[in-house]
Each structure stands twice: as C-alpha cells, then as structure tokens.
Amino acid sequence: MADLLIDVADTLVSDFDIIDFLHNLAVHASELTGSPAVGLLLSDLSGGLDQVAASSEDAQTLELLQLQHSEGPCVECYRTGRAVIEEDLAGAQERWPNFAPRAVAAGISKVHAFPMRLRDDVIGALNVFGRPGDVMGPDDVRLVQSLADFATIAILQERALSRAESLSEQLQFALNSRIVIEQAKGAVARSLGIGVDEAFDILRSHARRTQQRLTELARAVVIDRDVMETLRPAQS
C-alpha cells in the first residue's frame, strides 16, 4: 500500500507519466486483492470506451473482449455509474452472452467492476477478476473503489498541471498515449523475440533509468530503429 501511495504522490510532479501510473495501479490492485487480472477502461471523445491499463496480458485480453462485444461488467459499470459485482460468471451468460462464457473458459469465475467518476461524470471503470476460491470482502471492495478514485484524480491532475483542457480532451490524451505504447510493446516483442508483458517491463525500466516519460520513449522506439537497439540486453 505504501508503494501505491508513493505513486499517487507522483501525480504532483511535472514528469508524471500517466500510463506508467495506471499500469502500476493495476498491478498494485492485483497484488493487494490477490486477483489474477485487473484492468482499466476509459471513455474517449466519442463517449465509447478504450482499454488503457492492465496488470497483465490476460487482463488486457479480458478488457478487450468486453469492448469487442460492448458488454460485460466494466461496460455496464461505466454506463450505469454504479459498481457491478458478479460472483457467478458461469450463471451470467444471459446477462453477458459473449463475455461470460469466454471469461469462464479462461478460468475467471467472478468479477467486480468499480466506477471511475468525478462527481456526476463517469470517465471509466476498473475491473477486478477472480478465480474459483478468490474472495473479495468488504474491506477489499472499499480499497479497490479507493484505487479507482485515485486513478480518476491522477488522470485529471496530470493534465490540469500542464494546461486547462476539457475532461474529454484529458481522457483522449491518456488513450492516445496508450496507443503509442501498445505499438512500442509490439515492436520490442517482435525485435527481441519476447512476450509483450516482458517487452513492457523493458520499456518501463529503460524509461525510468534514462528519466524519460514512457510515452516519449515509446514514440521514439516506433520511429527510430537506433532507439530500439538501446533496449537490447548487453551481450556477455
């Protein structure tokens, strides 16, 4: 929890990287709740949803599945502005006919979705997926809703520090950053012959070591092969 609070405090500094922060938040939520997968969806300029952060590639897949079919706990949470709790995904196939059976096939048996909101404006949702035997008690529920609130504040604070923008423009900036990072992850994974989770870890570590924003490094990787070469491990 201390690590999470330190990350939240980083929203007050000028070099804060929103995507790195949201990824850390998803990972912290996964660790604190024991969940195998945590993901965040944010609204875009058109009012739709986009995947912006996930604790793992499996979490990202589950979020994208909801977006593909426009159904699922995170989508429902965003639309209603209320938390969605489903303890029996196997019995929720009528509720989410496309999402539920695929999630169950992936080993997920339950899900909790929490709204990311600023007063009356819902900007996204945070999803916590569970396996058989996983339990989320009242304290866990309160904790994760607090994390969703932290994420909302971080997104808005980061953009407010640099210039005044509408809420939709602030969210679009975060989504555009995520697109560039996804491109860089894929490029690094292909170039180094590794998985995308490992590629993301390499990008984050390099960005922190060289004191760059993750988005700036990702953009450089996509357009400059020489930058890609700096990510290769040293030959022994």
State the residue for tokens 């909790």. 112
CB atoms under 10 Å from CB of 195, counted, come to 12
Each residue's pLDDT expressed in tens, for the chain with a length of 236 residues: 666 666 555 545 556 677 778 888 898 899 889 999 999 998 877 778 888 889 988 999 999 999 999 999 999 999 999 999 999 999 999 999 999 999 999 999 999 999 998 888 888 999 999 999 898 889 999 989 988 988 888 777 765 555 555 556 666 666 777 788 888 888 888 888 898 888 888 888 888 888 888 888 888 888 887 887 888 776 54
pTM score, two decimals? 0.71
C-alpha–C-alpha distance, residues 210 and 235, integer Å: 20
Of 71, 19, 70, the residue nearest 40 (C-alpha): 19
Domain CATH code at residue 45 = 3.30.450.40
Does any domain span residue 105? yes
Do 146 and 171 fall within a single domain?
A: no
Give the whole-angstrom CA distance, residue 234 versus residue 205: 15
Would you say residue 236 lies in a domain? no
Structure token pair of residue 208: 């922190």
Together in a domain, 205 and 191: yes
Residue 205 belongs to domain with CATH number: 1.10.10
Tokens of 174: 């975060």
Same domain, 71 and 98: yes
| H or E element at residue 93 | none
| 5 exposure class (CB count in 10 Å sphere: 0-12, 13-18, 19+) | exposed
Using the Cα atoms of residue 20, residue 23, residue 29 and residue 34 in order, give the sign of their dihedral. Answer: negative
Q: Which domain holds residue 204?
A: 166-231
